[in-house]
Amino acid sequence: MLLHSPGASAGLGEGTALHFAKNGAKLALTGRDKTRLDDVAKRCSNCGIPADDIRTHYGDLTDAAFRTATIEKTVAKFGRLDVLVNNAGLFFPVESMRMSETQYDQAMDLNMKVPFLLSQLAVPNLEKTQGNIVNISSLFGAKATPMSGIYCISKAALDMFTQCLALELAPKNVRVNSVNPGFVPTLIYGREGSVLHGKDDEIQKNVDI
């Protein structure tokens, strides 16, 4: 089984990669932080996967060329795609009426647009393997929360996208599901004993909720 997990360098993406590694999957891991992603790849290899069965892609998934290259290089390397995990996400702890247009666009692009477009790229290959798409959403997709407006909106949209795509792909035996976790201890939340501990630029990249 081949797992493609955008955002595999920390948090839920890291845990997902290690889980699949323990079950013998070939992995294509994506992230912006080369050091952290290389560390995750090494830990996956320590689970018993040959190093040649792990491919790392360093880049920004909001870049169209990088998205396309990631899927194409993965299929070229392994010959197939079984699972796409849409995990990369962005969170701004700011009141909705204080959020800038740039922040709005960045959050919606990464939390909703990227999973949508990656799915489009992956589905032709998943149809061949009767594979799966797993969207990492959040309980905030169903629960309104202060200081999290655009995050809640983007995750609610991701959940609806999951349901619509699941109906469209069911006749082709491709399953589409979302996972809606609560707060998860990651680089920022939980490890330092407080919510949203860290610098603003770190917070927006690493909170998993």
Write out the catalytic residue numbers.
151
Among residues 27, 70, 58, 71, the alpha carbon closest in space to that of 45 is found at 27
Q: Cα–Cα distance between 182 and 136 in angstroms, integer?
A: 11
Contact 11, 198 (CB under 8 A): no
Give how far Cα 34 sits from Cα of 6, 28, 41, 72, Å: 13, 14, 10, 20
The CA–CA distances, whole Å, from 149 to 8, 93, 110, 112 equal 25, 9, 15, 14
Q: How many CA atoms lie within 13 A of 20 on its CB side?
A: 25
**CA dihedral for 67, 35, 155, 181, sign (positive or negative):** positive
